[in-house]
Structure 1
Amino acid sequence: MVAQKGRDLLLKVDNGASFTTVAGLRSKRLSFNAQLVDVTDGDSAGRWRELLGGAGVQRAAVSGTGIFKDQTSDTLVRSLFFAGTIVDWQLVIPNFGTVSGPFQIAALEYSGAHDGEVVFEIALESAGQLVFEAL
């Protein structure tokens, strides 16, 4: 796989009819995590930790930082946060695939310097099973 442009990594939200790209994002990040279940006991070989495969909770987190570019997507994101609504989101990873499923906005922050633009930061947490589709 050759190098990909960061701007082609897209965060999209379900607007009820289709997926809308969250406009103005300059950086995006997707991370997967799994809670480990430690089953180590006195009989564990060589006192090495033992884990129980497939038993922990899996989760995904998405974050991004950007500027306001599109009133429609800005309004949708803001309303989803204040309502605490869980909707389907989609992260498009160029030449790799898409990850989609239910997420809730965990944080929405606004900031700005006196000599710069207003920026926002968004953080999403998975709220159910995610689906990966290869491109």
Structure 2
Amino acid sequence: MAAQSGKDMLLKLDGGSGAFVTVAGLRTRSLSFNAASVDTTDQESAGRWRELLAGGGVKRASVAGAGVFKDQASDASIRALFFAGTIADWQLVLPHFGVVEGPFQIVALEFSADHAGEVTFDLALESAGEVSFAAV
């Protein structure tokens, strides 16, 4: 796969009608998947090596982003979701790879500013249900 432009990785929020709207002003975005393992090792495990239960652990997806708010609608939507603790449908579009979609909750929202610069924000989302992947 050839190198890709980071600006093409998009974080989108369901606008309420199933139409996803790009969260404006993001400069960085990341996605990570994790699966907890379930240890089933016992005294009869071969060579005393750890044994894991296939498919037994909890899966989760985490999304992080940072940037500047570009419009009042994005700013207001994200603030409202965070302060209400609302779980909403989100999409992360990874160019030439696929689309990850599912329910996420904003678990961290940070604002910072430099005296001579713009106000920036950092956002962290955690999956709150089944997440799907569709290859493009």
User: Structure 2 length as normaliser, TM-score?
Assistant: 0.96
CA positional deviation for 1:89: 0.1
CA positional deviation for 1:77: 0.8
What residue number does 1:12 align with?
A: 12
CA positional deviation for 1:74: 1.2
What residue number does 1:3 align with?
A: 3
SS in 2 for 1:68: coil
Partner deviation per Cα, 1:58-92 (whole Å, 9 max, x = no partner):
00000011011121111111111111111100000
What residue number does 1:84 align with?
A: 85
Name the CA distance, whole Å, in 2 between partners of 1:55 and 1:83: 32
CA positional deviation for 1:46: 1.5
Name the CA distance, whole Å, in 2 between partners of 1:115 and 1:26: 19
What residue number does 2:53 align with?
A: 52
Within 5 Å, which residues of 2 pair with 1:7-46? 7-17=7-17, 18-46=19-47
Name the CA distance, whole Å, in 2 between partners of 1:32 and 1:41: 28
What residue number does 1:67 align with?
A: 68
What residue number does 2:95 align with?
A: 94
Name the CA distance, whole Å, in 1 between partners of 2:57 and 2:34: 10
Q: Which runs of 5+ in 2 are unaligned?
A: none
List structure 1 runs of 4+ shifted beyond 2 angstroms. Answer: none
RMSD: 0.8
What letter is aligned with 1:5? S
Name the CA distance, whole Å, in 1 between partners of 2:48 and 2:6: 44
Name the CA distance, whole Å, in 2 between partners of 1:68 and 1:28: 14
Q: Which runs of 5+ in 1 are unaligned?
A: none
Name the CA distance, whole Å, in 1 between partners of 2:72 and 2:21: 12
User: Structure 1 length as normaliser, TM-score?
Assistant: 0.97
| Sequence identity percentage | 65
Partner deviation per Cα, 1:21-69 (whole Å, 9 max, x = no partner):
0111110010000011001111111221110011110000000110111
What residue number does 2:125 align with?
A: 124
